[in-house]
Structure 1
Amino acid sequence: MKKSFCLLLIFCFSFLFAQEVAVLKYNGGGDWYANPTSLPNLVKFCNQNINTKINTKVNSIEAGSSTLFDYPFIHMTGHGNVVFSPSEIENLHNYLLSGGFLHIDDNYGMDEYIRKEIKKIFPNEVLQEIPSNHNIFKAPYNFPNGLPKIHEHENKKPQAFGIFVENRLVLLYTFESDLGDGWEDKEVHNDPISIREKALKMGANILFYAFNN
């Protein structure tokens, strides 16, 4: 039995028994642990509003771990440097080809580093901007203008980039939006309810797409 098929079976069986999400740990000095309340808050929002049944305990997972395949959805964030080893690159590549989904949210300062690492994971693919009419912006909440702006940094427009495998989005990179800041506990950034709700709804769309495509 080919290795890729075995990995796909592992992924499918883990998905059948539970919906799990995790935060990706990485090397290089960047703060992978930034926004600790973000993903737990997004999970709670989704369970309450779009009828998901995601485990409310959010774990952290290393990029090279074999248990990466236990999680259909992995979230990654931070402000600085990112470095994946060759074995981690291979593991992430296999994970994404086997049905996994990686959302990378630049928390400001990650861009120049993460683009190089994405290229290592998919050397033959182009990180392309996702148009506003893509399904990820349509359900369960409608974002006709595409990725929303949550926090301002350099007066640049928010952009969503992706890697597609056989027309399926497997890696989503959100830039100049800072969705994770909008998912954090209210007192962290004191964002108005309208901003936090916009961020959580966009996050719900991302999870919905990851679990249904």
Structure 2
Amino acid sequence: MVRIQLEHARLATLLATLLVALLVACCLLMVAVPVFAQGMRPGELGHFTIARLHYAGGGDWYSNQSSLPNLLMELQRRTGVPTTEREAIVTLDDESLFNYPMLYVTGHGVMRPIEADLSRLREWLDAGGFLWVDDNYGLDASFRESLARLYPDDELVALDGNHPIYSAYYELPGLPKVHEHDGLPAQGFALFHSGRMKIFYSFSSDIGDGLEDVQVHNDSAEVREAAMRMAINICYFALTQS
């Protein structure tokens, strides 16, 4: 019990610190100061990062390797939020899990978390963590099965284009379509629990592909910009939702 309380307090403190940094960054942007906290080193308290989840089951959790570094760089350049240069990589039993306010999941294959992993993830989410799952084509079925075990009394809700996540920083009409996959429309889903969005699921969109270095997929500038704006919105929403 003491360990759980300490981990919850650690995540709450981190979220509060990042929110203060975000508010300061917003104030600086309003007075046209281009860079927030010059001279701070990556990894210092107050720098936002995303933790990529190394999940069990055989799926390629490591795919789109240039996507998150590109996102973190652009998030700092465009919004002033101080970020690290690269994402962290964690497993659900990692002692450092509660150091990170946001987890990212992607891949083409299967995720098969054991019950202990789900319990740990639920604990992290209930303490204030935010999970972004970006289906890279093929993850949908196993993710939904895992979600039903994670929060059996809650379901994913389809978000329309008016949801605040689509206007958290940039005004977007909805989730952009990056790659065709089966030709289904891009759709954002969310899981709400205790009045807060805990999970955002980008389905049939492949935002991560759009964030990669240009030579990886040769996406157009328009597609890559739409993906970047959506990803920045997701991060901004995760840090500022009440």
CA contact (8 A) 1:21 1:54 kept: no
Superposed CA deviations along residues 51-82 of structure 1, whole A, max 9, x for unmatched, are: 11111121111022231111111111000110
| Per-residue deviation, 1:166 | 2.5
CA contact (8 A) 1:20 1:70 kept: no
Match for 1:163: what amino acid? L
| Per-residue deviation, 1:3 | 6.6
RMSD: 1.4
Q: Does 1:162 align with 2:186?
A: no
CA contact (8 A) 1:4 1:98 kept: no
Q: Which has the higher contact order (CA 8 A, sep 6+)?
A: 1
Q: Does 1:128 align with 2:157?
A: yes
| Per-residue deviation, 1:2 | 7.0
**3-state SS in 2 of match to 1:66:** coil
Q: Does 1:152 align with 2:180?
A: yes
Instruction: Tell me the residue number matched to 1:172.
Output: 200
Normalised TM-score (structure 2): 0.84
| Per-residue deviation, 1:150 | 0.7
* Structure 2 Cα separation of the partners of residues 4 and 169 of structure 1: 22
**3-state SS in 2 of match to 1:94:** helix
CA contact (8 A) 2:68 2:86 kept: no
* Structure 1 Cα separation of the partners of residues 51 and 69 of structure 2: 10
Larger radius of gyration: 2
Match for 1:137: what amino acid? Y
* Structure 2 Cα separation of the partners of residues 9 and 96 of structure 1: 13
User: Displaced runs of 4+ in structure 1, greater than 3 A?
Assistant: 1-7
Specify every segment of 5 or more residues in structure 1 that has no aligned partner in the other structure, as ranges. none
Question: How many residues get paired?
Answer: 212
* Structure 2 Cα separation of the partners of residues 82 and 72 of structure 1: 21
Specify every segment of 5 or more residues in structure 2 that has no aligned partner in the other structure, as ranges. 18-44
Question: Percent identical across equivalent pairs?
Answer: 36
* Structure 2 Cα separation of the partners of residues 54 and 12 of structure 1: 18
